[in-house]
Structure 1
Amino acid sequence: MSYLSPPEFATKMVDAGEAKVTMSARDTLIRSFMAGAILALAAAFAVTITVETGNALLGAVLFPVGFCMLYLLGFDLLTGVFTLAPLALIDRRPGVGFGSVMRNWGLVFVGNLAGAIVVAVMMAVIFTTGFSTAPDAVGQQLGTIGESRTVGYAEHGAAGMLTLFVRGVLCNWMVSTGVVAAMMATSVSGKVIGMWMPIMLFFYMGFEHSIVNMFLFPSGLMLGGEFSVGDYLVWNEIPTVVGNLVGGLTFVGLMLYVTHVRTGESRSARTVTDVRVPANT
């Protein structure tokens, strides 16, 4: 069958987490670099579609092509390993400890960031004709995104920070659901359909994805956005990373693990006893 049952794909999640944690540093960096680069290209693609057509929904509908490509190629996003790697630790897989999980997260973060920034520089070259002209319409939009999603949050203080965090939680709830949905299917078409729906949802709803933001905000800084690196880190990237961790691990990884891998004890069937009805007197 092309569909795996929940206990089957939940076990695959733990297996995947173990494989990622025990992977060599070389392979982890290569795979995470490529994942960050491909997702950045997809974000540039979606913004370009939105600007040129004026239809944000169309951009969101087509954005998942990048996520599907990087997943099928076996590359790694920080949002995915936030969900999968801890499951191998919880399941007490051999060779998996807290330190190895943190090592994996650190390497994937560095690789994703490097890939996203490389693409950000390349796209900035295109949007400004080699930095010889003012940014075109797409480049101007990228600068605007960077401002609204950093200083825009800062203007609201604690309420803005809470909103940012919740958007990060909801984002990786959906993104990690896409990762798991791909494990439900054994065919390429099934994997793509499973991934497409939650990824489209998160992008259109404007949820905060730490890796997409690794492209959007460096691009915005290079293209005239009126915000600083400090604004980006404090009022976007750091709270988004924390929100992504909470969303993916809590609402996807742990929920599926506790109910499909480490299931609760089944209740015994109730014993039916005769009920004596008192005779009428």
Structure 2
Amino acid sequence: MAIEDRNEQDITSSESVDRPSRQFYIPSQIIEEFGEKGRDHLNKPFSGQFLLAMTAGSFMTFGAVFSILLAVGVETKGIYHLLSGLGFAAGYAMVFISGAVLFTEINVLLPSYLFNKTNLMKKSIYRFWGATYIGNIIGAFSVAVLIQLSGSLAPEFYAELSIYLDHKMKFLEHGVKGWFEVVISGILANWLIGMAAFLTTAARDFTGKVLGTILPVVLFVAGNFQHSAANMGYFSMGLLASDQYTWYQYIFFNLVPASIGNLIGGAILVSLLFSYAYKEDIQTSLGQGKQKKKQNH
């Protein structure tokens, strides 16, 4: 009997040793990661913040161009949306994995830090948000200028770009109602992009991070949900390639309401929601949980 018991213990021990480790982070760990990334971005020097924001904006234009190139000539709607989404996912994957600073991603990361912090340094927060937004626009437009100067794209690309711009700016016809529709669409868009960041952070290897990025991005592109950072890429190309719409129409009738919606979608429906749901499990230097523990000790 003793020998049998020992054998069972050996088998149990062997199974525990051979059991593979978990291949993803659990939700509370993801929110901790969000908060730590938000804190790290906030603590960077202003020059570093701005350069990373420009880099992220440039990736948005590359993603916009790739989404159009993959979809040119495709008539089947499902395949068209899939290819377009895959193309734009390349831009987001470059942002997420490189650590570049995207306005709509910051709408998720920074609130995750602030919701678990007592004192808010308002000046630095607003400056950071502003620098990120302006940096994204400058980066997106700069790459659009370079692409135009390169003369690399065929006429078919510009015909398809025109269709994309009409699709993005269709709300213009609805006046004030359309403006608020863009806000709501922006909420949905950054809810999905927030979940792309969520899934990407959950993954612990490169393949998982890319797949985690692709799924929500394909959905937001197919649904024509208005994502300000993505639209910066499309609109930058549109400003240089056609006179369909003016710069102030792009900014005031799409980017502004979309940005408001993006802030709500990322901060409330992703960051606040999960921070509250898992507040008991979040025990990092970001929150008060650790401070209370120290006081108790």
TM over 0.5: yes
TM-score normalised per structure 1:
0.84
Deviates more, 1:138-147 or 1:232-241: 138-147
Return the match for 1:8 from 11, 15, 29.
29
Work out whether residues 28 and 108 of structure 1, in 8 Å CA contact, stay in contact via their aligned partners in 2: yes
How many pairs are equivalent?
257
The Cα offsets for residues 18-46 of structure 1, whole Å up to 9 and x where unpaired, read as: 11111111111111111111121011011
| Structure 1, unaligned runs of 5 or more | 130-134, 265-281
Deviation at 1:147, TM superposition (A): 4.1
- CA separation in 2, counterparts of 1:177 and 1:252? 7
Return the match for 1:78 from 83, 89, 103.
103
- Residue 44 of structure 2 aligns to which amino acid in structure 1? M
Matched, 1:170 2:188: yes
Matched, 1:119 2:143: yes
Deviates more, 1:69-78 or 1:117-126: 117-126
Matches within 5 A, 1:148-227: 148-150=167-169, 152-227=170-245
Matched, 1:105 2:124: no
- CA separation in 2, counterparts of 1:58 and 1:182? 20
Work out whether residues 127 and 138 of structure 1, in 8 Å CA contact, stay in contact via their aligned partners in 2: no
Matched, 1:137 2:152: no
Work out whether residues 60 and 230 of structure 2, in 8 Å CA contact, stay in contact via their aligned partners in 1: yes
Deviation at 1:61, TM superposition (A): 2.8
Work out whether residues 231 and 255 of structure 2, in 8 Å CA contact, stay in contact via their aligned partners in 1: yes
Work out whether residues 89 and 97 of structure 1, in 8 Å CA contact, stay in contact via their aligned partners in 2: no
Matched, 1:87 2:106: no
Deviation at 1:154, TM superposition (A): 2.2
The Cα offsets for residues 25-83 of structure 1, whole Å up to 9 and x where unpaired, read as: 11111111111111210110111111143433222233212211221111111001111
- Residue 15 of structure 1 aligns to which amino acid in structure 2? E
- The structure that is helix-richer by fraction is 2
Closer, same or farther in 2 for the Cα pair 1:106/1:3, shift >3 Å? same
- Residue 88 of structure 2 aligns to which amino acid in structure 1? F
Identity %: 25
Q: What secondary structure, in the 3-state scheme, does the structure 2 residue paired with 1:11 have?
A: helix
Closer, same or farther in 2 for the Cα pair 1:170/1:79, shift >3 Å? same
| Structure 2, unaligned runs of 5 or more | 1-21, 283-297
Work out whether residues 78 and 105 of structure 1, in 8 Å CA contact, stay in contact via their aligned partners in 2: yes
Deviation at 1:98, TM superposition (A): 2.0
- CA separation in 2, counterparts of 1:226 and 1:189? 39
